[in-house]
Structure 1
């Protein structure tokens, strides 16, 4: 089992993460849950393989994922979201 994890688990996790991002891009709400779950799996991978740097990466990606979901959720519920988004972008210059 450990040999399989060392050889293939990172590939499975990368493909899973890319598929989650693709799902998010298709505006499927459950894609965000998949993305966050994938970060927990990266943490488990890091602990099993003793590659602890992946834990920091999973935490950072998880924080970005949760914050992005919260913003995405707010924008998707607002019927004037595109106008607000443009005002926000242009007002920060």
Structure 2
């Protein structure tokens, strides 16, 4: 029995970060280590994962545009609400964190 290969995954590079910033505004895209500290864990601080970047759309249309841009680039994302979960389920290791709060 063979295991299916993982699909090819795009990377979060400067071009994608710039594209996301054009969609939602520069202040709503975080990518520096110092900006991402709060997004490395949820309400369960014993598990940590660094997202490649965090994007915070302000409207429904911006959210749709961001999801489409990520799909076009082949980059996965993890949706995150207030970050109060206690399961570590909203941790985005090396992928985009999509802030929905």
Which TM-score applies when normalising by structure 1?
0.32
In proportion to residue count, which structure has more strand?
A: 2
In proportion to residue count, which structure has more helix?
A: 1
Which TM-score applies when normalising by structure 2?
0.30
Of structures 1 and 2, the one scoring higher in RCO (CA 8 A, sep 6+) is 2
